[in-house]
Amino acid sequence: MKNSIQFCLLIIILFSINGCKYYNFTGTGKIDANTFQVNYFQNNAELIEPGIERDFTLALQDLIQNQTNLSLTNSGGDLIYEGEITGFRISPMTATADQKTAQNRLTMTVNVRFTNTKKEEDNFEKPFTFFHDYPASSQLVGSTLQAAKDDIFERITQDIFNASLAKW
Protein backbone atom coordinates (compact mmCIF):
# COMPACT_ATOMS: atom_id res chain seq x y z
CA MET A 1 0.00 0.00 0.00
CA LYS A 2 2.78 2.43 0.95
CA ASN A 3 4.69 1.67 -2.27
CA SER A 4 1.62 2.32 -4.44
CA ILE A 5 1.04 5.72 -2.78
CA GLN A 6 4.69 6.66 -3.33
CA PHE A 7 4.45 5.53 -6.94
CA CYS A 8 1.30 7.63 -7.52
CA LEU A 9 2.97 10.69 -5.96
CA LEU A 10 6.02 10.16 -8.16
CA ILE A 11 3.84 10.01 -11.30
CA ILE A 12 1.97 13.19 -10.28
CA ILE A 13 5.25 15.03 -9.67
CA LEU A 14 6.68 13.93 -13.02
CA PHE A 15 3.59 15.10 -14.91
CA SER A 16 3.65 18.41 -13.04
CA ILE A 17 7.29 19.05 -13.89
CA ASN A 18 6.77 18.05 -17.52
CA GLY A 19 3.78 20.41 -17.79
CA CYS A 20 5.85 23.40 -16.67
CA LYS A 21 7.74 23.52 -19.95
CA TYR A 22 4.54 24.72 -21.63
CA TYR A 23 3.41 27.19 -19.01
CA ASN A 24 5.15 29.22 -16.35
CA PHE A 25 4.16 31.69 -13.68
CA THR A 26 4.68 34.75 -15.90
CA GLY A 27 2.06 33.45 -18.33
CA THR A 28 4.44 33.41 -21.29
CA GLY A 29 4.05 29.75 -22.09
CA LYS A 30 6.59 28.34 -24.52
CA ILE A 31 8.58 31.11 -26.23
CA ASP A 32 10.02 30.14 -29.61
CA ALA A 33 13.08 32.38 -29.17
CA ASN A 34 16.46 32.30 -27.47
CA THR A 35 17.60 35.91 -27.55
CA PHE A 36 16.16 39.40 -27.31
CA GLN A 37 17.49 42.88 -27.88
CA VAL A 38 16.25 46.21 -26.62
CA ASN A 39 17.42 49.04 -28.82
CA TYR A 40 17.98 52.44 -27.26
CA PHE A 41 14.69 54.31 -26.81
CA GLN A 42 15.17 57.91 -28.01
CA ASN A 43 13.49 60.71 -26.07
CA ASN A 44 11.33 62.65 -28.55
CA ALA A 45 9.04 64.15 -25.90
CA GLU A 46 8.54 67.92 -25.73
CA LEU A 47 9.58 67.98 -22.06
CA ILE A 48 13.08 66.52 -21.79
CA GLU A 49 14.13 64.73 -18.62
CA PRO A 50 17.87 63.94 -18.92
CA GLY A 51 18.72 60.24 -18.78
CA ILE A 52 15.14 58.97 -18.91
CA GLU A 53 15.73 57.20 -22.22
CA ARG A 54 18.67 55.25 -20.79
CA ASP A 55 16.79 54.43 -17.59
CA PHE A 56 13.74 53.21 -19.51
CA THR A 57 15.82 51.07 -21.89
CA LEU A 58 17.57 49.42 -18.93
CA ALA A 59 14.26 48.90 -17.07
CA LEU A 60 12.78 47.04 -20.06
CA GLN A 61 15.91 44.90 -20.43
CA ASP A 62 15.87 44.03 -16.72
CA LEU A 63 12.19 43.06 -16.71
CA ILE A 64 12.55 40.70 -19.68
CA GLN A 65 15.69 39.14 -18.23
CA ASN A 66 14.02 38.64 -14.85
CA GLN A 67 10.81 37.12 -16.22
CA THR A 68 12.17 34.90 -19.01
CA ASN A 69 15.16 32.70 -19.73
CA LEU A 70 15.99 34.66 -22.89
CA SER A 71 19.52 35.95 -23.38
CA LEU A 72 20.11 39.66 -23.96
CA THR A 73 22.06 40.49 -27.12
CA ASN A 74 23.15 43.73 -28.80
CA SER A 75 22.23 42.67 -32.33
CA GLY A 76 20.54 39.85 -34.21
CA GLY A 77 18.02 39.09 -31.46
CA ASP A 78 15.08 36.79 -32.07
CA LEU A 79 12.85 39.37 -30.35
CA ILE A 80 13.54 43.07 -30.97
CA TYR A 81 12.15 45.95 -28.93
CA GLU A 82 12.64 49.48 -30.22
CA GLY A 83 10.84 52.78 -30.17
CA GLU A 84 10.86 56.21 -28.64
CA ILE A 85 9.54 58.15 -25.69
CA THR A 86 6.90 60.36 -27.28
CA GLY A 87 5.36 61.97 -24.22
CA PHE A 88 6.59 63.17 -20.85
CA ARG A 89 4.32 65.83 -19.42
CA ILE A 90 3.14 67.29 -16.15
CA SER A 91 -0.47 68.39 -15.75
CA PRO A 92 -2.45 69.75 -12.79
CA MET A 93 -5.04 67.24 -11.58
CA THR A 94 -6.91 68.59 -8.57
CA ALA A 95 -7.43 72.05 -7.17
CA THR A 96 -7.94 73.43 -3.69
CA ALA A 97 -10.81 75.71 -2.63
CA ASP A 98 -8.70 78.78 -3.39
CA GLN A 99 -8.06 77.51 -6.96
CA LYS A 100 -4.50 76.36 -6.45
CA THR A 101 -3.20 73.05 -7.72
CA ALA A 102 -3.28 70.34 -5.06
CA GLN A 103 -1.97 67.46 -7.14
CA ASN A 104 0.04 67.07 -10.35
CA ARG A 105 0.19 64.15 -12.73
CA LEU A 106 3.30 63.05 -14.61
CA THR A 107 2.33 61.09 -17.72
CA MET A 108 4.75 59.19 -19.93
CA THR A 109 4.04 57.66 -23.33
CA VAL A 110 6.33 55.23 -25.12
CA ASN A 111 5.82 54.11 -28.71
CA VAL A 112 7.07 50.52 -29.08
CA ARG A 113 7.87 48.50 -32.19
CA PHE A 114 8.12 44.80 -31.36
CA THR A 115 9.55 42.38 -33.91
CA ASN A 116 9.52 38.62 -33.49
CA THR A 117 11.86 37.33 -36.21
CA LYS A 118 10.56 33.78 -35.78
CA LYS A 119 6.84 34.56 -35.79
CA GLU A 120 5.97 37.66 -37.81
CA GLU A 121 2.27 37.63 -36.89
CA ASP A 122 3.32 38.66 -33.35
CA ASN A 123 4.89 41.92 -34.58
CA PHE A 124 3.24 45.19 -33.50
CA GLU A 125 3.73 48.90 -33.10
CA LYS A 126 1.72 50.70 -30.46
CA PRO A 127 1.95 53.30 -27.70
CA PHE A 128 2.00 52.49 -23.98
CA THR A 129 1.08 55.16 -21.44
CA PHE A 130 1.01 55.42 -17.68
CA PHE A 131 1.03 58.16 -15.05
CA HIS A 132 2.06 58.99 -11.50
CA ASP A 133 0.30 61.53 -9.28
CA TYR A 134 2.26 63.56 -6.74
CA PRO A 135 1.50 66.54 -4.46
CA ALA A 136 1.74 69.94 -6.12
CA SER A 137 3.74 71.13 -3.12
CA SER A 138 6.57 68.78 -4.22
CA GLN A 139 9.00 69.56 -7.00
CA LEU A 140 9.57 66.80 -9.55
CA VAL A 141 13.18 66.22 -8.53
CA GLY A 142 15.09 63.82 -6.30
CA SER A 143 13.05 61.17 -4.54
CA THR A 144 9.74 62.46 -5.99
CA LEU A 145 11.07 62.06 -9.54
CA GLN A 146 12.60 58.68 -8.75
CA ALA A 147 9.33 57.39 -7.25
CA ALA A 148 7.43 58.63 -10.31
CA LYS A 149 9.86 56.99 -12.74
CA ASP A 150 9.85 53.71 -10.80
CA ASP A 151 6.04 53.61 -10.79
CA ILE A 152 5.68 54.51 -14.47
CA PHE A 153 8.51 52.26 -15.69
CA GLU A 154 7.17 49.29 -13.74
CA ARG A 155 3.73 49.58 -15.32
CA ILE A 156 4.79 50.40 -18.89
CA THR A 157 7.48 47.71 -19.05
CA GLN A 158 5.05 45.12 -17.67
CA ASP A 159 2.42 46.19 -20.22
CA ILE A 160 4.99 45.83 -23.03
CA PHE A 161 6.00 42.41 -21.71
CA ASN A 162 2.36 41.30 -21.53
CA ALA A 163 1.61 42.52 -25.07
CA SER A 164 4.69 40.93 -26.61
CA LEU A 165 5.24 37.69 -24.70
CA ALA A 166 2.29 36.93 -22.43
CA LYS A 167 -0.30 37.88 -25.08
CA TRP A 168 -2.60 39.49 -22.50
The per-residue pLDDT for range 105-134, each reduced to its tens digit, is 999 999 999 999 999 999 999 999 999 999
Q: Give the separation between CA 117 and CA 110, rounded to whole angstroms.
A: 22
Specify the DSSP element, H or E, that contains 161. helix 142-161
Average pLDDT, the chain: 86
Look at 15-19, 136-140, 144-148, 149-153 and tell me which has the smallest mean pLDDT: 15-19
E strand residue ranges, the chain:
35-38, 42-43, 71-72, 79-95, 101-116, 124-135
C-alpha distances (whole Å) from 164 to each of 95, 96, 115, 120, 140 are: 39, 42, 9, 12, 31
- Of 4-8, 90-94, 153-157, where does the model show the most confidence? 153-157
- pLDDT tens per residue across span 100-113: 778 999 999 999 99
Contact 81, 160 (CB under 8 A): yes
CA angle, residues 83, 89, 94, in degrees to nearest 5: 140
Q: Give the separation between CA 153 and CA 106, rounded to whole angstroms.
A: 12
Mean pLDDT of 146-160: 97
Mean pLDDT of 33-49: 95
Mean pLDDT of 136-149: 93
User: pTM, whole model, 2 decimals?
Assistant: 0.80
**Helix 142-161 vs helix 52-67: angle between axes, to the nearest 10 degrees?**
50
